[in-house]
Amino acid sequence: MHIRKASNAAGGALIGQCASKPGSAAETEGLAPFVAREIWRVIAALRQDGVATIIVDRNYGAVPAHTDRCAILVKGQIIADLPSGELRSRPELLHRHLGV
Is the residue at 4 inside a domain?
Answer: no
Is the residue at 52 inside a domain?
Answer: yes
Is the residue at 46 inside a domain?
Answer: yes
- Highest mean pLDDT: which range of 3-12, 21-30, 77-86: 77-86
Is the residue at 5 inside a domain?
Answer: no
Is the residue at 6 inside a domain?
Answer: no
Residue range 40-96, pLDDT digits in tens: 898 889 888 888 888 887 777 888 888 889 888 888 888 889 999 898 888 888 888
Is the residue at 7 inside a domain?
Answer: no
Residues of the chain by 3-state class (helix, strand, coil), percent to 5: 35, 25, 40
Q: How many domains does the chain have?
A: 1
> CATH number of the domain that 89 lies in?
3.40.50.300
State how far the Cα of 53 lies from the Cα of 73, in Å rounded to an integer.
17
12-17 β-sheet, strand order: 25-26, 54-56, 12-17, 69-74, 77-83
Let me know: does 49 contact 24? Beta carbons within 8 Å.
no
Amino acid at 81: D
Is the residue at 18 inside a domain?
Answer: yes
Q: What is the pTM of this model?
A: 0.61
Is the residue at 85 inside a domain?
Answer: yes
Query: H or E stretch including 96?
Result: helix 91-98
Domain holding 32, by residue range, is: 12-98
Q: What are phi and psi of 18, to 5 degrees?
A: -95, 135
CB atoms within 10 A of CB 17: 19
